[in-house]
Amino acid sequence: MVAEWLASAGIPFERQYEIGKFHVDFFVPSAFGKGFVIEVNGCYYHECPLCGKKSFDPKSRIRDTKRYGILTGSGYDLLVLRECDLKMHPEAARRRLVKVARLMHSP
């Protein structure tokens, strides 16, 4: 979904982009910092504050917090999308994503 949305808005991106020891879901070259990172989190694999789903892996929240801290701490901007939000409100999610990604890419 996210790939199609970015592509149809003409925003350049890379999938599974390598940053240090991480692979991020989507990377958009940014006019500001080092880049704009978009992560799409499945509600079963990551804890989800939107639908309240608990992860099957209790360490996932700690791992995610650490990962996001390292990314933003080294100058990347980050947007975390939730699977349930994309499924339930695709049009609103698309609009929000394209708006932010466009701003980040070239203000």
Beta-sheet pairing, 76-82 with 22-28: unpaired
Closest CA to 75 of 24, 18, 33: 33
Q: Where are the beta strands (DSSP E) in the chain?
A: 14-19, 22-28, 35-41, 76-82
Residue 84 lies near Zn ion (rule: CB under 5 A) = yes
Distance CA(95)–CA(21), nearest Å, equals: 31
The answer to whether 28 and 12 are in contact (CB under 8 A) is: yes
Contact with Zn ion (CB under 5 A) among 50, 88, 92, 103: 50
Q: Is 43 in the site for Zn ion (CB under 5 A)?
A: yes
Binding of Zn ion at residue 51 (CB under 5 A)? yes
Contact 66, 24 (CB under 8 A): no
Q: Which of 37, 48, 71, 93 binds Zn ion (CB under 5 A)?
A: 48
- Decide whether 53 or 102 has the Cβ nearer to Zn ion: 53
Q: How far is the CB of 56 from Zn ion (least distance, A)?
A: 14
Residue 100 binds Zn ion (CB under 5 A): no
User: Measured from the CB of residue 44, what is the shortest distance to Zn ion in angstroms?
Assistant: 9
Using CB under 5 A as the criterion, which residues of the chain lie in contact with Zn ion when the complex forms? 43, 48, 50-51, 82, 84
